[in-house]
Amino acid sequence: MTDGSRLEDARLDVSRHAARLFWEKGFDATGGDDIAAAAGISTRTVWRYFRSKEACVEPVLKVSELRFAALLKQWPMTESIDTFLARSMTAFASDDGFIRDSIAAVRILAILHREPALRSAWLMACHAAEMELVGVIAGRVSRASEDFDVRLCAASVTAAMRLVDEEISSAVINDGLRVSSEDATARIISAIRAGATLPICDAVA
Amino acid sequence: MTDGSRLEDARLDVSRHAARLFWEKGFDATGGDDIAAAAGISTRTVWRYFRSKEACVEPVLKVSELRFAALLKQWPMTESIDTFLARSMTAFASDDGFIRDSIAAVRILAILHREPALRSAWLMACHAAEMELVGVIAGRVSRASEDFDVRLCAASVTAAMRLVDEEISSAVINDGLRVSSEDATARIISAIRAGATLPICDAVA
DNA sequence: CTCCGGATGTCACTTAGTGACAAGCCCGCC
DNA sequence: GGCGGGCTTGTCACTAAGTGACATCCGGAG
């Protein structure tokens, strides 16, 4: 259940504080010193962990996508995406830490339109997720990870997830709508189906 | 034939110098002062034009993608992408300014793996292109620009073009391969066909 | 010609980000 | 337990990115 190395965990912890501060005070009004103080480390260590201020949010943005990618790695060849996610999403999405990180991520996505720097962090996180998905998809269609069509499918599916994430985040935060977990799952499934450019969504021989 | 406003043109000009310097000396070794000196403007104006050093290359990266999107806007409903690009790409790709900007862009893409900051600029440029494509695709399938499937198709097609661009750039610069204009066009067409999640590639009723 | 608004330069300033070194800490080894 | 070596962190002085304030310049409308 534990995610990455010790260093990654430390980074993620700092990232959570940064995300909260960016949400509460705005990106420009938050300094490296503020992040360091909130995380209980020295400013120097903040800059050791992250190459720039916007990169401070990458781990929180990545982690949800990456955890989802990790879930997809468990997706059996013999099962369609619908049945797989229907049975595994509930347990997955009710993990406590997962929910807290998701909320943090959703809040960042909702202010993307005001903060171009955060958008570039978000796109970098999506790019990392895309790289992970390549492996999943390669396995599912029994092709090499270098295969262009495999990479294209990973990119399209990632783009689909990105759009759903942005849309739901903006709806929930900016428009005050409420989105149930089932609804969100359904939209993700539908988007993945629409975005997949290779036959990965149904059971594979 | 002229592209944007006076301000955008000025930005693009500075951006060309920045791209050249990043290529020649590397991103870290190039300062805002260097860019300003090369472009013949004050450093202050560099920071008025761009919100960060990496954003200095966005215009050169954007312009090729955006010009291609503009070309696609001329794509008649009654024509398939193959015949349209077959007849219009040659003239399009032989424009002198276009070639110079393309070379600059290709060089940036080829060093993406070493320079994470430039990757984020590239992803931002792709995002801008994606926004443009939404309109093109909406027109082609007679649907609203807000339609989720339209936006998804734009995202997938953009992702396809991004992958082709990165692949060709790396092949040409890092591996020293030579890619003919016809070959490049063929790969773009094939990628767009593979990436399109709506029926936009063939003649539309 | 003259007035006006917007774009640019100058310069002092703040904040992001790095280099160098010292101190702390974990961990295997004796 | 004590000892040594690598890896991580803090401190502090520094460089470079990026901003605010104001003077100036330039091009267009009257």
What pLDDT tens digit does each residue of chain B (205 aa) get? 445 688 889 999 999 999 999 999 999 999 999 999 999 999 999 999 999 999 999 999 999 999 999 899 999 999 999 999 999 988 887 888 889 999 999 999 999 999 999 999 999 999 999 999 999 999 999 999 999 999 999 999 999 999 999 999 999 999 999 999 889 999 999 999 999 999 999 988 7
pLDDT of residue B4: 63
Select from A93, A89, A111 the least CA-distant residue to A101.
Answer: A93
| Residue A116 clears pLDDT 70, i.e. is over it | yes
pLDDT of residue A41: 97
Select from B107, B100, B19 the least CA-distant residue to B59.
Answer: B19
Select from B132, B130, B2, B124 the least CA-distant residue to B56.
Answer: B124
Between vectors from CA B103 to CA B98 and to CA B106, what angle results, nearest 5°? Answer: 120
Tell me the H-state helices in chain B: 6-25, 32-39, 43-49, 58-73, 81-93, 96-110, 116-141, 148-173, 181-195
Check B123 against A120: CB less than 8 A apart: yes
- Mean pLDDT of the region A178-189: 92
Share of chain A above pLDDT 70, in %: 98
Residue of A156, A159, A194 with shortest CB distance to B149: A194
- Mean pLDDT of the region A29-52: 97
Give A-chain residues touching B134 at CB under 8 angstroms. Answer: none
pLDDT of residue B6: 84
User: Could you tell me if B52 lies within 8 Å of chain A, comparing CB atoms?
Assistant: yes
Share of chain A above pLDDT 90, in %: 85
A152, B160 contact by CB (below 8 A): yes
Within 7 A of a protein CB, which nucleotides of strand D? 8-13, 16-21
pLDDT of residue A125: 97
User: Could you tell me if A121 lies within 8 Å of chain B, comparing CB atoms?
Assistant: yes
- Mean pLDDT of the region A7-13: 92
Distance A43 CA to C24 C1' (A): 18
- Mean pLDDT of the region A73-91: 91
Q: How far is A167 from chain B, CA to nearest CA, in Å?
A: 9
Q: For an interface test with B, which of A126, A143, A197, A201 has the most B Cβ atoms less than 10 Å from its Cβ?
A: A197
Give B-chain residues touching A112 at CB under 8 angstroms. Answer: none
Check A152 against B167: CB less than 8 A apart: no
Task: Take residue B6 and report the two structure tokens written for it.
Answer: 């006076």
Q: Give me the helix-helix angle, A58-73 and A116-141, nearest 10°.
A: 10
pLDDT band at A2 (very low <50, low <70, confident <90, very high): very low
Nucleic strand C near CB of residue B44 (< 7 Å):
yes
pTM for the full model? 0.94
Could you give the dihedral angle defined by the CA atoms of residues B150, B153, B157 and B163, in that order, rounded to the nearest 10 degrees? 130
pLDDT of residue B94: 81
Residue of B nearest to A124 (CA): B120
- CA of A50: nucleotide with nearest C1': C17
Residue of A nearest to B125 (CA): A120
pLDDT band at A6 (very low <50, low <70, confident <90, very high): confident
Check A162 against B155: CB less than 8 A apart: yes
Q: How far is A162 from chain B, CA to nearest CA, in Å?
A: 9
- Enumerate residues 143 to 202 of chain B having a beta carbon within 8 A of any beta carbon in chain A: 148-149, 151-152, 155-156, 158-160, 162-163, 167, 191, 194-195, 197
pLDDT of residue B3: 57
Dist CA B70 CA B132 (whole Å): 8
Distance B43 CA to C9 C1' (A): 9
Within 7 A of a protein CB, which nucleotides of strand C? 7-12, 15-20
- Mean pLDDT of the region A5-24: 94
Q: Residue B77 half-sphere exposure, CB side, CA atoms within 13 Å?
A: 7
pLDDT of residue A3: 55
Give B-chain residues touching A123 at CB under 8 angstroms. Answer: 120, 123-124, 127
pLDDT digit string (tens) for A117-139?
A: 999 999 999 999 999 999 999 99
Least confident of A1-10, A193-202, B2-11, B84-93: A1-10
- Mean pLDDT of the region A154-175: 96
Task: Take residue B101 and report the two structure tokens written for it.
Answer: 């900007």
pLDDT of residue A91: 82
Check B159 against A155: CB less than 8 A apart: yes
- Mean pLDDT of the region A49-55: 97
Check A127 against B127: CB less than 8 A apart: no
- CA of B5: nucleotide with nearest C1': C7
